[in-house]
Amino acid sequence: MVAGKSLGFRAEGERGCVGARGNVCPLGAVVSGRVTSARCGECARLDRAHSVAADTIADDPRVYRVYLAWFGPGLVKVGITAEERGPARLLEQGAVVFSWLGRGPLMAARRTEELLRAALGIPDRIPYARKRAVRTRLPETARERAAEIGELHRAALALDGWAESLEPLGFEAVDHTEAFGLAGLPPAVSAVRELADGGTVAGTLLAVAGPDLHLRTADGEIVVLDTRLMTGWSLVGAGPGEGVSVPTVPLEGVEAGGTVQDGLF
């Protein structure tokens, strides 16, 4: 998606479960429009049962990387991702700046993640509502944006208790400000809460950060759409002048429950 491009669609019918791991939902279930994962309870359990995030595949032979991700002042998280995926996980989360911290086997990476949470108080999850709240108030220079995770990176490498099989990696900040289109981004006033049958979302694309699209509607209002809310719906095109006719909430009122980042690896 390119900034300045018109975007518009209308939702039709009901939101159906997308199934799990490439399989169609056996129940043909209808799911809530407000959740970011369009899966019924049964499919969600099946998908989770094979997830690295659930620690159910400890014998995964792939190399993993530990990273520090920065979303704005005071918002830093630690996480792990399969090395073969490169920076895809960081782009998916909308990380404004990130740096690799170490690489090695899955369980060594997981132990290091736990170490940073316990010793430095770095969380492994940050609600998307908090990311959105600071996205338009970022420091102007790349050096300023990298400063916080630079300090935490140094503190992390100095900790005792690192797994011997995890190779430490030097600090190298990767800044996604330009890639996301965040420079000069105007504040949003609301966020889409859910799609609804016959409801439209249309406007001009200003920025894309992780799953979030920042749109300017025909009346000049800035609205954020979490694209995960679109899965499971039948969508048809809508003109850019049709605006937003689905339920929205003030940006500061978006609840974290249901918008916390998923454990995708």
CB atoms within 10 A of CB 219: 9
Helix (H) or strand (E) holding 224: strand 222-226
Instruction: Check whether 264 has a pLDDT greater than 50.
Output: no
Express each pLDDT in 98-136 by its tens digit: 999 999 999 999 999 999 999 999 999 999 989 998 998
Distance (Å, whole) CA 174 – CA 34: 32
Q: Which residue has the higher pLDDT, 198 or 251?
A: 198
Distance (Å, whole) CA 152 – CA 110: 18
Task: With cut-offs at 50, 70 and 90, classify the pLDDT of residue 64.
Answer: very high
Q: How would DSSP label each residue in 13-40?
A: S-PBP--BTTBPPTT--B--TT-SS---
Task: With cut-offs at 50, 70 and 90, classify the pLDDT of residue 58.
Answer: low
Instruction: Say what the pTM is.
Output: 0.88
What value does the mean pLDDT take over residues 44-59? Answer: 69
Instruction: Check whether 54 has a pLDDT greater than 70.
Output: no
Express each pLDDT in 161-189 by its tens digit: 998 999 999 999 999 999 999 999 999 99
Express each pLDDT in 196-242 by its tens digit: 999 999 999 999 999 999 999 999 999 999 999 999 999 999 988 89
CA atoms within 13 A on the CB side of 185: 32
